[in-house]
């Protein structure tokens, strides 16, 4: 179930965006609430290198970025165990990291940069 971001909740996350190409396409950043069917998302502009999601309830989330618009659609990059190890050769853990959002706290460094996971590793883009 999708929920619009709402001012009454004050959990917030931010991160850096990248794409394994010469430029960053439009991305849809989706935060999947762990253990539920709820998700929250935002869309970015081509070339945008940072994002900030705010106004969603405190909980644990998995974060995935999806390409959309012109160009390659549906390619997913996750905030996985590959991100903290710098996407280096030999680091092969594509498990999504549980990002914890707490009220009144900004969670930074949530970088959905793992575009190297085998297809189907991350959930499909649920947003319309």
Q: What is the sign of the dihedral through the CA atoms of 55, 5, 46 and 89?
A: positive
Q: What is the pLDDT of residue 12?
A: 62
Place of tokens 């439009």: 26
Write the pLDDT tens digit of every residue in 2-32: 444 444 445 667 788 888 888 899 999 999 9
Write the pLDDT tens digit of every residue in 70-120: 666 678 999 999 877 777 777 888 999 998 888 777 788 889 999 989 888
pLDDT at residue 63 is higher than 90: yes
What backbone phi and psi angles, to 5 degrees, belong to 93?
-95, 105
pTM: 0.85
Domains of the chain are 11-107 (2.60.40)
Q: How far apart are CA 75 and CA 8, in angstroms?
A: 32
What are the distances in angstroms from CA 15 to CA 35, 108, 119? 23, 6, 23
Place of tokens 């710098």: 86
């Amino acid at each position: 179930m999708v929920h619009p971001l709402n001012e009454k909740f004050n959990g917030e996350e931010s991160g850096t965006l990248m794409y394994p190409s010469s430029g960053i396409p439009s991305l849809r950043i989706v935060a999947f609430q762990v253990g539920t069917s709820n998700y929250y998302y935002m869309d970015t502009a081509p070339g945008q290198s940072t994002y900030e999601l705010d106004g969603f309830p405190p909980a644990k989330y998995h974060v995935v970025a999806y390409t959309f618009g012109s160009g390659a659609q549906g390619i997913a990059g996750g905030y996985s165990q590959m991100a903290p190890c710098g996407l280096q050769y030999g680091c092969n853990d594509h498990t999504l990291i549980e990002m914890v959002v707490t009220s009144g706290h900004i969670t930074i460094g949530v970088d959905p940069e793992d575009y190297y996971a085998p297809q189907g590793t991350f959930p499909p883009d649920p947003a319309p």
